[in-house]
Amino acid sequence: MEIDHSDVSTFRSQLLNWHEPGDRPMPWKKHPDIYWVWISEIMLQQTRVDQVIPFFERFVQRFPKVEDLAASSEGEVLKYWEGLGYYSRARNLHKASKVIAYELNGVFPENLNDWLSIPGVGPYTAAAITSFAFNHPNAVVDGNVYRVLSRYFGILSPIDSTKGKKEFATLAQKIISEVPPADWNQAIMDFGATVCKPNQPDCSHCPLNRDCHANLEGSIRELPVKLKKIQKTDWSINYLHVHDGNRFLLRRRSKDGIWGGLHEFPTLESPGKIGNWMQKNVPDSDFCIKKVTQIPHQLTHKNISATFYELKANHLKLNENSDFVLADEKNLTTFAVHSLMKKYFTIFMG
């Protein structure tokens, strides 16, 4: 999937403008030396920040340096890990401490590839450690990142497929290449954890909602995609582009369902009823059908075949209590429209 550079720039600037480093206080951020970063990243594997904090504070109080951790018994390390779960992390942490303390003489690796040789450290953790401790431009790609990127850019590649993993990693690396790595990685993870959550994301207060593909398309629940066949249904829509040369009609969709609350042209089940529709909704105005445009459109769960009927009217005057609004090219940006409408406007307005 090709993503426009301007879309990447917009996404990056919006997210960094949203992020305030002190908004989510974490003890390892106050003292970001490599040992604390490493311990925190191992603990954060498959565990939420709020759960990790009390365990982290107790752990580093007992084992303040890597040499202290290496000199302890595995049993004691597991005791201080008790309640955090996924105990293989603690065992690997203990093994790794011995490698660093004894084989590397207490000197922590600095580059990503060297970290990958440390027990318990995979690509995500290596990227996180090197970016937070050394500000290396290594993008983290975890569940939060998959979710944010897939929803914002509308990426349908399964996140658990080889193709999908490569696509997301490439995009994440492209984004981080022009910003401070530590700030960016923290920003996107915080955003995924607090705003773009798996369930009940806070879309109404999201600073990215006007440009977010999933928000505009009503596909929040469908993204990110995992490796399973997406059952798509076919959907045909007839849109009426009614205008008088300058102004045109828009209506707002109901808040429920697909494209909830977004604006679009009026729709009609059968094009054979255009005359009746115009007489009812645009009275006292002659009209002619100027152009018919067909546009295919894909959503996560729908194949859409849209037919746009351009209807030129003598003048537009809304009935009292009309469900429609009058828009023009100048004020169009004040109305939120979905991507299918944007596609048509690009064709019609050039």
Contact 145, 172 (CB under 8 A): yes
Q: How far is 181 from 331, CA to CA, in rounded Å?
A: 38
The total of other beta-carbon atoms located within 10 Å of residue 77's CB is 21
Q: Which of 2, 20, 41, 264 is catalytic?
A: 41
Residue 145: Cβ-neighbour burial (10 angstroms; 0-12, 13-18, 19+): buried
Contact 119, 129 (CB under 8 A): no
The angle formed by the CA atoms of residues 79, 32 and 119, to the nearest 5 degrees, is 50
Looking up tokens 């920003």 gives 187
Reply yes or no on whether 41 is catalytic.
yes
Contact 82, 74 (CB under 8 A): no
Query: Residue 243 pairs with which residues in a beta bridge?
Result: 248, 312
Nearest to 150 by CA among 118, 196, 203: 196
Q: State whether residue 340 is helix, strand or coil.
A: helix
Q: How far is 253 from 257, CA to CA, in rounded Å?
A: 9
Q: How far is CA 168 from CA 200, 300, 309, in A?
A: 23, 17, 38
Catalytic residue positions?
A: 41
